Amino acid sequence: MNGTDENPLDLLPEVLLAGCAVLALLLGCWLPRHRQWLAGALAVTGCAAGLVAAAVAAAGPTGTAFDASYAVDPVTSTGRIVILGGTLLVLLLSLTSPWLRAAPRETEFYVLVLLAAVGAVLLAGAQDLLLLAAGYLLASVPAYALAGFARDGRGTEAALKYYVLGALLGVLLLTGVTVLLAAGHGTGYPALRRELPDAPVGLVITGGLGVLAGVLFKSGGVPAHYWLPDAVQGSLAPVGAFLTTVPKIGALAAGYRLAAGPLADTGRWWPDLVAVVAVASMTLGNLAAFSQRDVRRLLAYSTISQVGYLLLPVAVAGRTALDQRALLFYLAGYAVTNLGAFAVVCALPRARHLADYRGLARERPALAVALVVCLLGLVGTPPTAVFLGKLAVFSAAFDAGYTWLAVVAAANTVASLFYYLRWIAPTVLGTAPPGDEDRDGDGGRVGNGNAGRAGADPLAGGHATGDATFAGGAVLVAYPAAAASVLLGLLGGPVLDLLAGPLAG
Amino acid sequence: MNVLAATTSTSTGEAVQFWVLGTIALVGALCTVMMKKAVHSALSLAGTMIILAVFYLSQGAYFLGIVQIVVYTGAIMMLFLFVLMLVGVTSADSLKETLKGQRWLAATCGLGFGILLIAGIGNASIDSYAGLGKANADGNVEALAALIFNRYVWAFELTGALLITAAVGAMVLTHRERITKPETQRELSQRRVREGKQVTPLPAPGVYARHNANDIPALLPDGSIAEVSVNKTLRARGQMRDVSNEPMSNVAELEGQAESWLGRVTPKRVVRQPEENGSPESESEGAAK
């Protein structure tokens, strides 16, 4: 039982995150209320240190940790980097959110975000069903509290819906784990991969279905997506950004690892099932997004449809050489683009409806450019990262013989242009009605270029009291995210090559 | 040979035990979901947990079985019961369906997954099992410790993080800061006099020498009930047991006899029914009579 791979240093990024969460909690206990941002700064430092550690680990050799229950391979490394990067952006959004800076529970917010991020990383790296279940819980429970953080009516509803569905699908996940344990005589993926092809098919399908339910809940795929629009609309904007980005990365990586590992040789039911779920997810997400007028709800439905595209490589995992690269690249591109769009939403806390964005291009041209870049990026317009990700995903589906899937996904992409344009059109073309929220406040100059200086210090970016219509600090995230979305698209070739590599175990 | 058989196949005794206890465990689980009162649900859950512990014991997992009883059934479930009793649930469940057809959809999905589970498990035929002897070779506790502190040490530590999360989350969602100074006893009594609703302490529940339970409201001199004598939670739950009808009818009968004996015919006294929310004014009025 004594493996040779029990080296805690293999898990340095995760340990840094969890340690920073505990330290930030302790720090917050002794800090006066107006200095609680220090806990947030500690959290940001932890994320940055974790990013460095993850990058170092990514350059190192592929291996496993703790008796092969945790993999350190390209999927984990990319998952770590994207999750840590996403968490870093969410933390910056929170540190610059005027509402949160005035909240009495500021430290707890950062702690919960860090803990949920640990859970998401764990989902990405788990190579054992028990660890997967632990990661599911750790990624879910802090998120429930985050969804209800504002403690208003909508927030409570969001948290309750999220929690009830999470509990139900968590039970399904545990049932699936139990059934797979019975079928495969073990919970480790290498053992399952050996045993499952010879196990009774009905048992494997039942277990796989249960585990898929858990993965779909965390990623927000269609039968398990009901919580997402309410949670994103009802909770704070930074929480919405977190919920639609970070847990999805972990869950989709976990789904891919399951598909490419233990369930790879168990028959065609898995790819067919996931393909149907993917089609349902992208189609229903798009259809529901058409009629939305609330921007957060629109973004929530847009992420549901994005999960549909992201499930394509999970469906065809192991049937083509392109699957892993396509999934990981799309995940990175999606994360950065989605966070950019949410950063713009965070920057304009009063603008909740599409009509409120009328005339943004005249009032704050830079912010409008960032928004348009991110929205066109989510559609998949050529120079952006999501375009390349979609291209890779579609070609992976073609390559694996799922032509119909690629065709449906492409048709959905074209259809999705419509609702993004419904947002872009008033932003670019419209003029602000008199007395609109976008009138020039003192935050207006911040939006026009010298943002880097204005918000480098979390205190300065806060605008904790004055202008509540424009949270200037959020542009700190919006501009880099939009730029990164384009840059990642331009550097696509070399990055895609980096993401290839065999799974561990 | 006997030992080997015991660790690789199911004996008749074990099978009988499984079917008997399995049924009870399932009934307990169903009761947990379906019982109306939270305390009954919790007790059913405790019963199911004890039976699970018996299963663990009969499978040779002695440590797990004892831990299940001591920690889960003994500590956690009892703590849960205390919390239920202390907090008191005031609002009743709303049985109104807000989602149309949700019940049928849920039933269909549940049935579907149930059929899948039964078919899947029925699909597998296992008549002998292996690995129990190997897993317990160095002793049950040692084997558990080896798993927890080697392979799953990372998951184990994260479960600790989960506990921190639970504590922080519960505090974030429920903690309320007191923003006003708490009222002193003097201020409370002054307020009572100023409002003039109930100046005296509340009456105690129960009817002398007949019913002394907490859910029985005290009777006023005219035989009607004093609602304020019963705990607010019980009143809200509708668990107040009214015993005023019998004394009320006795008084009415007595008065009727007296009237007839005196030869006077007066309209029969109207027996006052206890109102939904008896206002303190009417109670003090009744007491004044």
User: A265-297: per-residue pLDDT in tens?
Assistant: 888 888 999 999 999 999 999 999 998 889 999
pLDDT at A15 over 70: yes
Structural domains of chain B, ranges and CATH numbers in brackets = 2-89+131-169 (1.20.120.1200), 198-262 (no CATH)
The domain limits of chain A are 8-498
pLDDT at A460 exceeding the cut of 60: no
Distance CA A2, CA A20 (A): 29
Instruction: Kindly tell me if the per-residue pLDDT of A339 is higher than 90.
Output: yes
Closest B-chain CA to A119? B158
Looking only at Cα atoms, what is the longest distance across chain A?
72
Pick the more confident residue, A233 or A10.
Answer: A233
C-alpha distance from residue B157 to each of A450, B151, B154 (Å): 44, 12, 5
Per-residue pLDDT, B209 = 66
Distance CA A185, CA A162 (A): 33
Q: String of b and e for B14-24 (b: at least 16 CB within 10 Å)? A: eeeeeeebeee
pLDDT of A505 reads 63
Distance (Å, whole) CA A479 – CA A449: 9
CB B268 within 8 A of CB B257: no
Confidence band of B210 (pLDDT split at 50, 70, 90): confident
For range B67-72, the mean pLDDT: 91
A148 to chain B: closest CA residue: B173
Cβ-based contacts of B176 with chain A (< 8 Å): none
Contact B166 A141 (CB under 8 A): yes
Give the one of B122, B131, B177 whose C-beta lies nearest to A104's C-beta.
Answer: B177
Residue type at position A269: W
**Which pLDDT band, with edges at 50, 70 and 90, does B173 fall under?**
confident
pLDDT of residue A499: 81
| pLDDT at residue number B128 | 66
Q: Are A362 and A432 in contact (CB under 8 A)?
A: yes
Residues of B whose CB is below 8 A from A204: 120
Q: Which residue has the higher pLDDT, A58 or B92?
A: A58
What is the arithmetic mean of pLDDT over A485-499?
85
Q: Which residue from B minimizes the CA distance to A223?
A: B109
Model pLDDT, residue B204:
82
**pLDDT number for residue A449:** 35
Check residues B265 and A105 and name the one with the higher pLDDT.
Answer: A105
Instruction: Tell if the CB–CB gap between B164 and A159 is shorter than 8 Å.
Output: no
User: Shortest CA distance to B110 belongs to which of A435, A175, A414, A232?
Assistant: A175
Name residue B226's beta-bridge partners: B218
CB–CB of A206 and B119 under 8 A? yes
Residue from A180, A265, A264 nearest A214 by CA: A180
Please tell me if residue B153 touches chain A, with a CB cutoff of 8 Å.
Answer: yes
For the cut 70, the answer to whether the pLDDT of residue B85 exceeds it is: yes
**A70 by DSSP, 3-state: which?**
strand
pLDDT tens figures, A37-47:
899 999 999 99
Tell me the average pLDDT of chain B. 79
CB A333 within 8 A of CB A385: yes
Of the candidates A319, A423, A309, A432, which has an alpha carbon nearest to the alpha carbon of residue A376?
A423
User: Quick one: tokens of B115?
Assistant: 């059929």
| Least Cα separation, residue A326 to chain B (angstroms) | 29
The token pair that represents A400 in the structure block = 């694996």
Amino acid at A458: P
Percent of chain A residues past pLDDT 70, beyond the cut: 91
ipTM of the complex: 0.81
* pTM as predicted: 0.82
With an 8 Å Cβ cutoff, are A112 and B172 in contact?
yes
Q: How far is the C-alpha of A404 from the C-alpha of B134, rounded, in Å? A: 49
Provide mean pLDDT across the span A130-155.
Answer: 91
Residue A42 or residue A33, greater confidence: A42
How confident is residue B269, by pLDDT bands cut at 50, 70 and 90? low
Pairing of strands B225-226, B218-219: antiparallel
Classify the C-alpha dihedral A450-A451-A455-A460 as positive or negative. positive
Residue A294 DSSP SS3: strand
Which position has the higher pLDDT, A361 or A255? A255
Residues from chain B that touch A104, judged by Cβ atoms under 8 A, are 177
